[in-house]
Structure 1
């Protein structure tokens, strides 16, 4: 009897091994969708689905709805209407969650992340409006109307002062990633990578049966986009990177960064070049990465270590001009700095 039981177990294992080999290609079948959203922002979505379902149309439709709700570049969007009328009753499913997430990051970053920074972003030439001629008095006047604590909201409605301007561009890509990831999960898909403009959510494993590996760009101005500094495994979490090496301009011999400090009203100037934040969702990761670029190296490290749901990887300029890094304990084993 015992020998027969062992034989049956061995036979069952053998059948399972053969079945898995015969169906290996089917199990690893991956769908790869590409497109653009939010104007010209590229997206790349990979997922494993035994049924081979193609969700391109559904995902594009989701992203269009999302963009038409929260884009300040669209005059009829919900956020544009809120900025104009100062009241919102939530016409879509996107504004309230974005307000709630923004409030969390604003508070935990001590105001370094502030989606009411828009008027200053605009006058410095990084928003939908044309750059203005600047002087310290204009900056001083605009910084008086900055502060997310001026925005009042609950689950039914939101209001703000007439001169307060909201702009969620610092978290838009991350939030868009979350919306697509949630959609895939709702379809029963458990292995996917969703990337919009460099911000990602990864769940499960790829077609090779390993965790998804994501590249982190080398933060050097004038370097060709896509040159990698490091790679990292992303295990069932979100990753967003912010830096000042792509979006900037030069004026009177000075580099003007797109990251405007809510504390001073001026573009930041410090040695932090790139901040990659791991978080439970991509909107949080995106917002905290932006906060890091305001805070600089030391204060960013403190914020990361004080927040248990965050991990971080920072690239900064050392005193000798070389690139130096910081990685929090939870991701040190996941990151490989390339030679």
Structure 2
């Protein structure tokens, strides 16, 4: 299973409210089926409409197991662990899709998203093996690690993944749960299901309508300035799209009056310690949203919004939550995101 990282750290950031939009439409004759459980170190909730109420639990659990055998850093003998321990690996379909998409996003963001950050994640204490006390790694340690970080050190030839430099290791937690949501959606569609909402640890994708004939609606957690107060909700219509969140107020440590969060900059090796609280991204599929939300939180508000405007071909919309100089929670939307909010 997966550790609680920049994706799963925001497990509760996207809460399924299943509220109804104020539009008139008859209820569907099909029944609402809900399958839920725990996998990849987090929860999952899958809701869909079907004439057949036979549980898909076994099929869903089988998919999770397949993905774990491919991409779980916690599973001994997984493909990703075999690659990290060696030099090459023959990828299965899951790894090939995730690695290929990761490299595409790395190039598009000039390395702001990079799956070769695993040694940095470990050094900061956010990896598989948690230290008793987290602390800032020594500067020379980070400098040495950075010599082995860089998506350009990975080579894909067909199904083969190879390291161009010894010591390179990958961590796909920043994109794998979004991919898993997409895979679950395809599983449902293969069963002839046309109306569904899939949530894997807060990474969601949807299609069609709920049992009342309404577009699926989800809530986005908006934390208060003290990080502990009751969250205010923004409501988002999710019409045949995916939404994911990368947040930095649930997984962090404080040292010397500075808060260091689990998003790691692949260029500097530094853990994020900016005023950004979270960024929520909407895209055509969850793997895309999941990969880009990592990059956008590192870019920050202005550069992030500018990136989205300059690259409409990526189909991204984003919602930034940040703290101003007075510590007050503020928000910023890309134009398309704000149109999807219910207010």
Settle same-fold status: TM greater than 0.5: yes
Q: Return 5+ residue gaps in structure 2 as ranges.
A: 1-25
Seen in structure 2, the aligned counterparts of structure 1 residues 137 and 328 have a Cα distance that, compared at 3 Å, is same
Contact 2:263 2:298 survives alignment (8 Å): yes
Counterpart of 2:281 in 1: which secondary structure? strand
TM-fit CA distance, 1:214: 0.9
TM-score if structure 2 supplies the norm length? 0.86
- Cα distance in 2 for partners of 1:306, 1:222 equals 32
Cα root mean square deviation, aligned: 1.8
Q: 1:249: which partner in 2? A: 253
SS at match of 1:117: helix
Matches within 5 A, 1:1-339: 27-39=29-41, 41-90=42-91, 92-131=92-131, 134-160=137-163, 161-220=165-224, 222-223=227-228, 227-308=231-312, 309-336=315-342
Structure with the bigger RCO (C-alpha within 8 Å, sep 6+) is 2
How many residue pairs match? The answer is 311
Contact (CA 8 Å) 1:318, 1:324: kept in 2 or not?
A: yes
- The runs of at least 4 aligned residues of structure 1 exceeding 6 Å deviation read none
Three-state SS of the structure 1 residue aligned to 2:228 is coil
Tell me by how many angstroms 1:86 deviates. 1.4
Whose helix proportion is higher, 1 or 2? 1
Residue aligned with 1:94, SS: helix
TM-score, normalized by length of structure 1?
Answer: 0.87
- SS state at 1:211 partner: coil
Shift of residue 53, structure 1, vs aligned partner: 3.2
Question: For residues 165 and 127 of structure 1, what CA distance do their matches in structure 2 show?
Answer: 12
Native 8 Å contact 1:217 1:229 kept in 2: yes
Q: The residue matched to 1:53 in structure 2 has which SS?
A: coil
Cα 1:313/1:26, change in 2 over 3 Å: closer
Q: Residue 12 of structure 2 aligns with which residue?
A: none
Partners of 1:155 and 1:54 in 2: CA distance: 36
The higher radius of gyration belongs to: 1
